[in-house]
Amino acid sequence: MSERSLPLIAWLAFFAFVVAMLALDLGVLHRSTRTVSMREAARWSAIWVGLAIGFDLLVWATLGAGPALDFATAYVIEKSLSVDNLFVFLVVFGALRIGPEHQHRVLFWGILGALVMRGAMIAAGLELLSRFHWLIYVFGGVLVVTGLKLLRGWYRGEDDEEAALENGRLFRFVRRWIPSTTSLHGGRFFVIENGRRVATPLLVALVLVELTDVVFALDSIPAVVAVSRDPFIVFTSNVFAILGLRNLYFLLAGAVEKLHHLKLGLSAVLVFVGAKMALVDVVSIPPLVSLAIVTTMLALPFVVGRARRA
């Protein structure tokens, strides 16, 4: 899909919606420190998916079927890739001994920071592609290689992101540059200790969440750009996927082992969108076909896995 210039009011309305939802989340629903229940997480996960569907219908009504299908495909890809973050969240919170009652606060500010960084990375990526068309082949090749690497890790039972955290590389990097204490102090990110201001494990976790999101974005943003070059579609699909990630974490945190087969589907999706991006000047795949292929690739590993268990 080609780029288009939307009225400024469309962007302002979307930003106003995001700000209102974030204010409702932190200022009203989660003002006090508490553990998010499975029921609450399920309810809000359903709400965020419903809002994404409603937004897509609005895109369909105002911009047409093509952009709406592009949004749906980009949203499904981004949502599925973002689930991989759950494994990293679990490792970070477990290593820093951060209980469920404080995890929501870290994830809220982490996702808020991720929105800003994703916006900057999307703008930079689209600008580069508009200036240097040959980069599309580079991005496509990177996605294919990443997909094959993910497939190899799935086959061997490896997890590069978790291994990097468990081996202490990111932990050592963060602690080297941020003076911190190993003790929690409620929901505070900083505390005065021995006359100096130091970070608590909550801030260390927040920094780790932000750093790992940048790493994941290097895969997910090119994957979404392979679907659409429209800044509005790329950005909004990212935002909707990220905003619902926090509640999805609390919903699926106890069942991450069952998500192991998702990596197989993700590897196939990355190879597909990478090949589609690299061959954009040769092959044109209709948006509806792309959406069907992506959803099938993500669903098939679960169907096969369930059939084998049966």
pLDDT, tens digit (0-9, with 9 covering 90-100), for 163-216: 555 445 666 777 777 877 777 777 788 888 877 888 888 888 888 888 877 877
pLDDT at 29: 57
Strand extents, DSSP E, the chain: 190-193, 196-199
CA 283 to centroid of chain Cα atoms: 28
Q: Which amino acid is present at 106?
A: V
More confident residue, 229 or 1: 229
Would you state the structure tokens that stand for residue 43, as one six-digit string? Answer: 């309810």
State the pTM of this model. 0.78
The owner of tokens 């404080």 is 102
If DSSP codes are grouped into helix, strand and coil, which group holds residue 261? coil
Taken in order 155, 161, 164, 166, the sign of the CA dihedral is negative
Question: pLDDT tens for residues 108-137?
Answer: 888 888 888 888 888 888 888 888 878 888
Q: Which amino acid is present at 264?
A: L
Could you tell me the pLDDT band of residue 160, with boundaries at 50, 70 and 90?
low
